[in-house]
Amino acid sequence: MERIKTIETRNLCESVCSGGCGECQTSCQSACKTSCGVANQPCENQNRK
Amino acid sequence: MHHQYKLNGYNIVLDTCSGAVHLVDDVAYDIIGLYQDHTPEEITGIILEKYPDRADVTREDIAACIEDVTALKEHNQLFTPDTYEPIAGEYKNRSNVVKALCLHVAHTCNLNCSYCFASQGKYHGERALMTYEVGKQAIDFLVAHSGTRRNLEVDFFGGEPLMNWEVVKQLVAYARSIEQEKGKNFRFTLTTNGVLLDDEVTEFCNREMHNVVLSLDGRKEVHDRFRKDYAGRGSYDVVVPKFQRFVEKRGDKSYYIRGTFTHYNTDFTNDIFHMADLGFTELSMEPVVCDPSDPCALTREDLPVLYEQYEILAKEMLRRHREGRPFTFYHYILDLKNGPCIYKRITGCGSGTEYMAVTPWGELFPCHQFVGEQAYSLGNIWDGVTNTAVQEEFRSCNAYSRPECKDCWARLYCSGGCAANSFHATGSIKGVYEYGCELFKKRIECAIMLQAALSAEE
């Protein structure tokens, strides 16, 4: 694709099957204590796709 | 749904539901913008008219680009439909574990910061220190309700937790003593204003604390405006050398220098750069959340200034990265390749269900920001959650529970946002803190630009 460069990202659609282990952080509590984001929290699933 | 924007010379297209990120040129940017509401012939006409003198913009080029966009759509990398809503509620309903507690070990503080959401650590109540017995029961409560979850988080919070340091150490020792037997891995965090930070605390924290959050607002005059002791003296000169010594000994373990900015320092990037210039590399800076009538509250007029500040920050981070002296900004951490799965992104914050705060008296609240709001008292660490109506309200919060989020491109980055922010802004945890949304969206745009730029340079 000449005009479009796709950055490598985790495919959220595929993570429906591989995700949901629940081992990740559950809120902002260990960091800023006021954040409303989740996208910056790391995935803890060793078998992620 | 998709979102496209231009920032720092990059044309960025986000596909909300797949998480895909595309860097495109001007022509593709326009074609993507037109794609859903126009026929290929209409798009071709519009593009040819817009770029009349470009040798590389012919009918064939445009047709090829439209084909590429179609291919992305067919491969669920653009205009991907949202099929997640049915599993949003289901996932949270299925999970009945507690995996994180915020222990309010000290409802008292040795600073008297006027902007403190916790009212100088007292949370609008009495001063108190948590006893070892209460803390131990809290840890037992956490383990008993954690099911098969291995990673358990315990935050030592206040007020100022170092004012109850012996109990903190005893609780860490207790948790470590049962870790193996219970099959758990405790991750401790300490949030401190630094006044009581010494070599002994540093050594212990660097051994035991997974993360340490150090409160610093930035430049001396900014920090000392609010962060004063009870005699009215600013704390900058006391805490900065302690923080520097702490971080020097921290090695590669996690920490954050964390500040709050207010209406008085809307040029907050200067505070972040000041932190970086002091030698700190892991930085967090939060907008104050307070009553709109408070003079330090951020105003509607501040918004464009703050947008610009977030852009300045991202550009400067990129510059420093290229110069080999990078720093991290909490809200710009986005791991595009290995970030959270869709369940995490639709479920949102675990406050009130997976995460609770414990007062010095053992009372449970949905999170640290609800402590003192008696209507939100959930129960206690001996009897468990007894206010199930409130817990169910929190359980039903997810990326789809607010109608305002339905058309928002950022919903899978924030998951519907912070219940406490919603509550404080609207009186309901199902409300929307619009001001926070605006800042959040700007931060995500900047964060993705930063990641995309770094990725493009690799």
- Give me the pLDDT at residue A40, please: 73
Q: Do B436 and A37 touch (CB under 8 A)?
A: no
Contact B286, B436 (CB under 8 A): no
Predicted structure pTM score: 0.93
Distance from CA of B382 to the nearest CA of A (A): 22
Chain B residue at shortest CA distance from A15: B341
B458 CB neighbour count, 10 Å cutoff: 5
Q: Do B100 and A38 touch (CB under 8 A)?
A: no
Please report, in angstroms and rounded to a whole number, the separation of the first and last CA atoms in chain B: 28
Q: What is the sign of the dihedral through the CA atoms of B40, B42, B44 and B50?
A: negative
Confidence tier at A34 by pLDDT (50, 70, 90): low
Instruction: Please state, in angstroms and rounded to a whole number, the distance separating the CA atoms of residues B163 and B234.
Output: 19
Cβ contacts from A onto B, under 8 A: 216
Instruction: Please state, in angstroms and rounded to a whole number, the distance separating the CA atoms of residues B290 and B297.
Output: 6
**Minimal Cβ distance to B367: which of A4, A7, A27:** A27
Distance from CA of B229 to the nearest CA of A (A): 22
B440 CB neighbour count, 10 Å cutoff: 24
Bigger pLDDT: B141 or A16? Answer: B141
Instruction: Please state, in angstroms and rounded to a whole number, the distance separating the CA atoms of residues B194 and A23.
Output: 30
- Give me the pLDDT at residue B349, please: 87
Instruction: Please state, in angstroms and rounded to a whole number, the distance separating the CA atoms of residues B104 and B161.
Output: 7
Separation in Å, CA B290 to CA B257, B270, B365: 21, 22, 20
- Give me the pLDDT at residue B46, please: 98
- Give me the pLDDT at residue B241, please: 98
Instruction: Please name the residues between 204 and 223 in chain B that touch chain A, using a CB distance below 8 Å.
Output: 210-211, 213
CB of B72 within 8 Å of any CB in chain A? yes
Contact B404, B457 (CB under 8 A): no
Nearest to A46 by CA among A29, A24, A26, A28: A24
Q: In what order do the strands lie in the sheet with A4-7?
A: A4-7, B21-24, B10-15, B2-7
Please give the angle made by the CA atoms of B140, B142 and B145, to the nearest 5 degrees: 105
Is the pLDDT at A41 greater than 80? The verdict is no
Distance from CA of A47 to the nearest CA of B (A): 11
CB of B159 within 8 Å of any CB in chain A? no
Averaged over successive runs of 10 residues, the pLDDT of chain B (458 residues) comes to: 96 96 97 98 98 94 98 97 85 81 96 84 89 98 96 95 98 98 96 97 97 96 96 97 97 94 97 97 91 91 98 97 94 87 87 95 96 96 97 91 92 90 91 93 96 84
The radius of gyration of chain B from alpha carbons, rounded to an integer in Å, stands at 24
- Give me the pLDDT at residue B266, please: 97
Instruction: Please state, in angstroms and rounded to a whole number, the distance separating the CA atoms of residues B349 and B394.
Output: 9
Nearest to B418 by CA among B400, B437, B403: B437
Separation in Å, CA B157 to CA B136, B161, B261: 15, 5, 20
Q: Which residues contact B382 (CB under 8 A, 6 or more apart)?
A: B137, B141, B362
Q: Strands B21-24, A4-7: parallel, antiparallel or unpaired by DSSP? A: antiparallel
List CB contacts (< 8 A) between A7 and chain B.
20-23, 336, 451-452, 455-456
DSSP B408-438: -TTHHHHTT--HHHHHHHHSSTTS--HHHHH
Distance from CA of A10 to the nearest CA of B (A): 5
User: Best interface-test mutation with A: which of B331, B341, B435, B441 has the largest number of A CBs within 10 A?
Assistant: B341
3-state secondary structure of B51: coil
Q: Do A38 and B348 touch (CB under 8 A)?
A: yes
- Give me the pLDDT at residue B28, please: 98
CB-count burial class (<10 Å; 0-12, 13-18, 19+) for B172: buried
- Give me the pLDDT at residue B234, please: 96
Q: Which residues contact B390 (CB under 8 A, 6 or more apart)?
A: B352, B366, B375, B376, B377, B378
